[in-house]
Structure 1
Amino acid sequence: MEAFVNQLNGILWSTPVIYILLGVGLLFSILTRFLQVRHIKDMVLLMFRGKSSAAGVSSFQALSIALSGRVGTGNIAGTATAIAMGGPGAVFWMWTIAFIGAGSAFVESTLAQIYKVKKDGVYRGGPAYYIEKGIGIKWFAVLFAISTLLAMSLLMPGIQSNSIALGMENAFGINKAVTGLVIVGLLALIIFGGVKRIATVAQYTVPFMAVGYILVALIIIGMNLGELPGVISLIFSSAFGADSMFGGIIGSAIAWGVKRGIYSNEAGQGTGPHAAAAAEVSHPAKQGLVQAFSVYIDTLFVCSATAFMILFTGMFNTVGADGTPIVENLPGVEAGPGYTQAAVESVLPGFGAGFVAVSLFFFAFTTIMAYYYMAETNVAYLVSGKNSKIAMFVLKLVLLGATFYGAVKTAGLAWALGDVGLGLMVWLNVIAILILAKPALIALRDYEAQKKQGLDPVFNSKKLGIKNAEYWEEEYKHQEEKVS
């Protein structure tokens, strides 16, 4: 089983695919004239504007749901794995994919807003919706919905619960099965409460967990401030093969940095658009900008916190392409949360292992919560009417079962299965947003034009010539009636 999964990953994540993803992010950055720099002020301000409604959530709640998915195991275990397989230089490539990936995140999230629908009283949207409405290829949309449903409900939850269980076992000696049962119980309480409960939990939990984690990282950096120039130099020299120790694995640095960067920040993956579509905003570009900033929060802040803790303390192993150790500072420790736990423990004895285990619990748990929301959105796309409620109930049971199973299975297989799920989604979504970028770029230009006029931008899809955006046609009529 594991051999077949690894073979499939070899296809989905082959070297050309890695460079394609970098190229797509760079293309969108150029086409949007590097909005990730030009509109950084708007990104921050728009996070806290907009209110929730009966049908949708606020911009901040949508951001929090998206960050629930972005900020997860990839930030702790994934960053450690990137360093283990690609050396310190992998961190630079994680930063790179985050910066240029913000362009991809804007495009896909703006498309989700443009083509969102109101179904059963709530906003729904995402790649399946914009593929059908924007491109007009139903089977392509269905294929994405099925792939996402499989990834979010069966393949991906196991990575998160597995990392939680490993962290709890390492820190407190808690049996993995016990941890799995606790995760499933808490998760059931939230997902059976619907989208609003998920948004409420996310908006309070995500900021708390991210800020707490970054503060501990800053303490460790502060206690080792003299090491900062050396660590920065090591990251950059390793990224370009200039370091004598890590120079021979530059290809691994790029591949693992990009792969784990995309896994963590999810730019272009097609996950962020699901939450973006649920936001109550007056213009699609607004939520596109907010979601672009979420990529920064995930990688430039949280992943960097993990990387600096590990590299400042030297608590990591790195292997060459042939599996031969290059650095072995933690003999016998598997790449993952153990590196981060050892890093914090080395500076704050008696605190590190427990802190990382608790952080990982919050990070990974909220990610599983976000996975359910995305899976539910695609079930809503595939199934309607009376069968919808039955399908939603079955989905909950499947996801809870996959979460428990993931907690007790081997970490290697968990990550391999997750990579398959991610690879399928990335392939399909990247093709879709390349075909469908034009409406998102039109929306950005419209947003900028209205801002220049001193207006609070509103969206008129009909005037802009964007077809099949029925929600916005009705919304613009409604706004005009209110004004008159």
Structure 2
Amino acid sequence: MLDIVFILNTIDDFMYFPLLIIVMAAAGLYFTARTRGVQIRMLFESIRLLLEPSGDSDSVSSLQAMLVSTASRVGTGNIIGVSTAICLGGPGACFWMWLMCIIGASSAFIESTLAQIYKRKDENGQFYGGPAYYIEHGLNKPKIAALFCIFLIATYAVGFNLLCSYNLQSTFMDYAFYNANTTPIIIGAILAILTGYCLLGGGKRIVKVTGTIVPVMGIIYVAIAAIIILINYANIPSMIMIIFQDAFDFQSIAGGFVGSCLVYGIKRGLFSNEAGVGSAPNASASASVSHPAKQGLVQTLSVYIDTLLICSATALMCLSTGVARDAAVSGAPYVQNALSTVMGTAGPVYITVAMVLFAFTTLLGNLFYVDNALAFLNKKQKPSKRFMRIFYLAATVIIFVGAIIPMDAAWAMADITMGLMTLINLPTCAIMGKTAIDCLKDYEIQKKSGKNPVFKASSIGLDEEKLDWWK
């Protein structure tokens, strides 16, 4: 196992430095420059569009599509991922996470706008789409589109679910009953059985209840974090100082770049907000809007909510308490220790309950997320029930394995599979970026003339034969 972990870490290290850091930064800066900072310049317009109805009661609104993508983003990574970045990389990881969030929001605009332009409509009148569809119909590269779908399945059914399962069992490490040899096996088995039961047709009530509770838990989590930060208000100046000092300690960063705050901030920020990865466009394509740029603008907010709000809540809460941070407490223990300073023994219990709910809905969401990719690979048709049963059973085994593998292996697998998606999606967005940018210009021209923008493919010179809806 140690040899496999070493190989995974070596691949992970190379992918993020130098490869992905350069690709992500270059793409984000390029899109920011070409759109004249759309993610900042049109922030208030993005907020206004959130409340715009779809115009059809049976259609998905911008807000609903944004909430779906936000729900898929928000999960264990917002708590465990941020904690790991601070404990292993340093407080400066917060700054680089924030910076990449703001830059990456422009990538989120481009990918979601493209998903809207190249979306399709099924026999039930519902929209669907995503990177596979704009790669196939925009780039005319069906083989690359199929490869992207394979990487998406590897990411959401394997990489992310391995990590989600590990993160959940790690929240029990601080309890007296925890046994490193048996507890992960028990938790992994329970989680796998429960998830498998829901996937195979049972537990619909469980899914409905947890889906309702999780948003509430997220709001409560941010509120508790805010209270703890306010209680420790005297530490806020020194906390801000240490974040920026560590972020710009380039001598320390250069001395161990792969394990630096810069790399950890970028890694965990990408894992959390998924800007440019190519996952959110699958949800964005489902929205019914009068202009593709509307959904692109709304989608930038999802990135901000995930990173600037929820991830920052975890980071600032932990740092404001001043509890010890090192490799030994990286992950759930660091957050639990921070909560304990104010909530006592109730702190760790709350995190455990929240993580159980977050992890369960994330696991289900991840697996339902691959349905679109499986359909694409199956000539745009949903696979047979027999195939899906076998697939879901294999997925439950992966969930069980995730609870018992080492932390490094879990994070490396998630990083690698996510990185492979990004390395296809971002270059595609760069190649096709002009289409999304022209779409944005068309939107702004119509807005300035006092209209509610309505998109026509011919207005930006698109070949309507390649499109399904915007003709």
Give the TM-score normalised by structure 2: 0.89
Question: Against the structure 1 CA distance between its residues 356 and 117, is the aligned structure 2 distance closer, same or farther, given a 3 Å change threshold?
Answer: same
SS in 1 for 2:171: helix
User: Cα deviation per residue 1:321-378 (whole Å; 9 max; x = unaligned)?
Assistant: xxxxxxxxxxx43x11111011111222111111112222233333323322331111
Within-5 A mapping of 1:333-412: 333=329, 335-384=330-379, 385=381, 387-412=383-408
Identify the match of residue 151 of structure 2 among 140, 147, 154.
147
* Contact 1:55–1:118, Cα closer than 8 Å, also in 2: no
| 1:74 aligned residue | 77
Deviation at 1:414, TM superposition (A): 1.1
SS in 1 for 2:462: coil
The percentage of aligned residue pairs carrying the same residue is: 39
| 1:297 aligned residue | 305
Identify the match of residue 221 of structure 2 among 195, 198, 213.
213
| 1:90 aligned residue | 93
In the alignment, is residue 278 of structure 1 matched against residue 286 of structure 2?
yes
| 2:426 aligned residue | 430
In the alignment, is residue 417 of structure 1 matched against residue 418 of structure 2?
no
Distance 1:364 1:171 in 2: 19
Provide structure 2 residue ranges, at least 5 long, that are not aligned to the other structure.
none
Distance 1:202 1:34 in 2: 37
Deviation at 1:297, TM superposition (A): 0.4
Distance 1:402 1:42 in 2: 42
Residue 469 of structure 2 aligns with an amino acid whose one-letter code is W
Question: Against the structure 1 CA distance between its residues 454 and 205, is the aligned structure 2 distance closer, same or farther, given a 3 Å change threshold?
Answer: farther
Identify the match of residue 469 of structure 2 among 463, 472, 482.
472
Deviation at 1:386, TM superposition (A): 7.2
Deviation at 1:193, TM superposition (A): 6.8
Deviation at 1:144, TM superposition (A): 0.7
Question: Against the structure 1 CA distance between its residues 49 and 361, is the aligned structure 2 distance closer, same or farther, given a 3 Å change threshold?
Answer: farther
Most deviating of 233-242 and 374-383: 233-242
Residue 44 of structure 1 aligns with an amino acid whose one-letter code is I
| 2:321 aligned residue | 313
| 1:480 aligned residue | none
Most deviating of 341-350 and 397-406: 397-406
* Contact 1:105–1:288, Cα closer than 8 Å, also in 2: yes
* Contact 1:310–1:316, Cα closer than 8 Å, also in 2: no
Distance 1:105 1:47 in 2: 16
Distance 1:450 1:386 in 2: 39
* Contact 1:99–1:296, Cα closer than 8 Å, also in 2: yes
In the alignment, is residue 138 of structure 1 matched against residue 142 of structure 2?
yes
Residue 97 of structure 1 aligns with an amino acid whose one-letter code is M
* Contact 2:91–2:242, Cα closer than 8 Å, also in 1: yes
Most deviating of 157-166 and 359-368: 359-368
Most deviating of 390-399 and 154-163: 390-399
User: Cα deviation per residue 1:64-120 (whole Å; 9 max; x = unaligned)?
Assistant: 221122112221111111112221111100000001111000101111111111235
User: Cα deviation per residue 1:217-248 (whole Å; 9 max; x = unaligned)?
Assistant: 11101111111111111111111118x99896
Most deviating of 176-185 and 410-419: 176-185
Identify the match of residue 272 of structure 2 among 251, 260, 264.
264
Distance 1:198 1:3 in 2: 39
| 2:441 aligned residue | 445
In the alignment, is residue 165 of structure 1 matched against residue 169 of structure 2?
yes
Deviation at 1:134, TM superposition (A): 0.8
* Contact 2:253–2:262, Cα closer than 8 Å, also in 1: no
Question: Against the structure 1 CA distance between its residues 247 and 205, is the aligned structure 2 distance closer, same or farther, given a 3 Å change threshold?
Answer: farther
Distance 1:45 1:369 in 2: 31
Distance 1:81 1:160 in 2: 14
Give the TM-score normalised by structure 1: 0.87
Deviation at 1:394, TM superposition (A): 3.4
Distance 2:92 2:435 in 1: 36
Question: Against the structure 1 CA distance between its residues 113 and 185, is the aligned structure 2 distance closer, same or farther, given a 3 Å change threshold?
Answer: farther
Question: Against the structure 1 CA distance between its residues 63 and 386, is the aligned structure 2 distance closer, same or farther, given a 3 Å change threshold?
Answer: closer
User: Cα deviation per residue 1:146-199 (whole Å; 9 max; x = unaligned)?
Assistant: 1111221122211112111221453584733443344345545665679x9999
Question: Against the structure 1 CA distance between its residues 470 and 302, is the aligned structure 2 distance closer, same or farther, given a 3 Å change threshold?
Answer: same
Distance 1:336 1:142 in 2: 35
Distance 2:13 2:252 in 1: 26
Deviation at 1:249, TM superposition (A): 5.8
Deviation at 1:446, TM superposition (A): 1.5
SS in 2 for 1:156: helix
Deviation at 1:284, TM superposition (A): 1.3
* Contact 2:374–2:383, Cα closer than 8 Å, also in 1: no
What RMSD over aligned residues (CA atoms) do the two structures have, in Å?
2.8
* Contact 1:112–1:126, Cα closer than 8 Å, also in 2: yes
Within-5 A mapping of 1:202-241: 204-205=212-213, 207-241=215-249
Residue 53 of structure 2 aligns with an amino acid whose one-letter code is G
Deviation at 1:283, TM superposition (A): 1.6
Residue 46 of structure 1 aligns with an amino acid whose one-letter code is L
Deviation at 1:53, TM superposition (A): 6.3
Residue 356 of structure 1 aligns with an amino acid whose one-letter code is I
User: Cα deviation per residue 1:286-336 (whole Å; 9 max; x = unaligned)?
Assistant: 1111111111001101111111121112234347xxxxxxxxxxxx43x11
Question: Against the structure 1 CA distance between its residues 361 and 64, is the aligned structure 2 distance closer, same or farther, given a 3 Å change threshold?
Answer: farther
* Contact 1:86–1:318, Cα closer than 8 Å, also in 2: no
Residue 15 of structure 1 aligns with an amino acid whose one-letter code is P
Deviation at 1:424, TM superposition (A): 0.8
Most deviating of 134-143 and 393-402: 393-402
Identify the match of residue 179 of structure 1 among 187, 208, 212.
187
Distance 2:349 2:139 in 1: 49
